[in-house]
Amino acid sequence: MRWIKYSWLALVLAPLAAQSTLAQPAPPAPQTRFVVVLDAAHGGDDTGGRLAHGQLEKSFTLALSVRLRSLLAARGIPVVTTRDSDAAVDPVKRAEIANRAQAQACLSLHTSESGSGIYLFVSSLAPAAPARFPAWKTAQAAAVMRSLKLAGVINSALLHAGMSVTLSRTSLPAMDSMTCPAVTVEITPEQNHETAAGLDDKDYQARVAAALAAALLEWRTDTGRTEARP
Ligand SMILES: [Zn+2]
């Protein structure tokens, strides 16, 4: 007897519920803010390598992060940094900061005297489907395909700026724990047939920062296009 009443009630209410759903305006689409995370590698006691001109890697990466942030801010791109000072930040904390920001691009910045041009590293984790609770140390697996695309966009921008680029895969604790499209960028001296510039060359530093900013602007357009597709 009871269920008859309830099912009758359900029959009456169901169309009403459907109507009221139809009558309501569609909820606003969630704000997809384009945010970039800049991760200046090393810091504090972890100095990184010593560069030929005496600067420490930790200072070089921080200076590049600051420069790139202002270039992006001038183009309306909000930036979250893993450090703004000479502080030691462990890989877990770096990934935590990046993951909280829900960024569309995460760049870890390194530099080294050994090598030639720019090296781009994407996590060597095998691609995996996104999980509700991804394992912390392999969280990047779900983003690795997008990271490869991001590396491709950065590669094009650097080549366009006349730089030599080497793309490869590697495993780094901070990058492997990030859920955003993530690329590690290592800047080494420029030694191609047209130009040779050391890491202390101000013009080279400016060109690298400008090319990375151009790449991120292109990436913003690309991700915007992807989101707009039905
Ligand atoms: Zn380094």
Query: Mean pLDDT throughout 141-169?
Result: 96
Instruction: Compute the average pLDDT of residues 188-196.
Output: 82
Instruction: Categorize the per-residue pLDDT at 225 as very low, low, confident or very high, splitting at 50, 70 and 90.
Output: low
Confidence band (pLDDT; 50, 70, 90) for 132? confident
**Residue 91: its H or E element:** helix 91-101
Q: 192: which 2 tokens?
A: 């191609």
d(CA 55, ligand 1 centre) in Å: 13
How much distance in Å is there from the Cα of 56 to the middle of ligand 1? 10
- DSSP assignments along 133-166, one per residue: S--GGGGGGGGHHHHHHHHHHHHHHHHHTT--EE
CA 170 – CA 172 distance, rounded (Å): 6
- CA 67, CA 72: separation in Å to the nearest integer? 9
Q: For residue 29, how far is its CA from the centre of ligand 1 (angstroms)?
A: 40
How far is the centre of ligand 1, averaged over its atoms, from the C-alpha of 82 (Å)?
15
Categorize the per-residue pLDDT at 21 as very low, low, confident or very high, splitting at 50, 70 and 90: very low
Ligand 1 centroid, distance to 130 Cα (angstroms) = 29
**Domains, the chain, ordered by start:** 36-228 (3.40.630.40)
Under 8 Å between Cβ of 183 and 122? yes
Mean pLDDT of 198-216: 96
Ligand 1 centroid – CA 110 distance (Å): 4
Expressed in angstroms and rounded, the spacing between residue 57 Cα and the centre of ligand 1 is 7
Distance of CA 49 from the midpoint of ligand 1 (Å): 7
- Spatial separation of the C-alpha atoms in residues 37 and 103, rounded to whole Å: 6
Q: For the chain, what percent of residues have pLDDT higher than 90?
A: 74
Residue 78 Cα, ligand 1 centroid: separation in angstroms?
25
Cα-to-centroid distance, 77 and ligand 1 (Å): 25
**Cα(60) to centroid of ligand 1, in Å?**
10
Cα(159) to centroid of ligand 1, in Å? Answer: 22
Q: How far is the CA of 2 from the centre of ligand 1 (A)?
A: 71
- Burial of 195 per CB tally in 10 Å (0-12, 13-18, 19+): middle
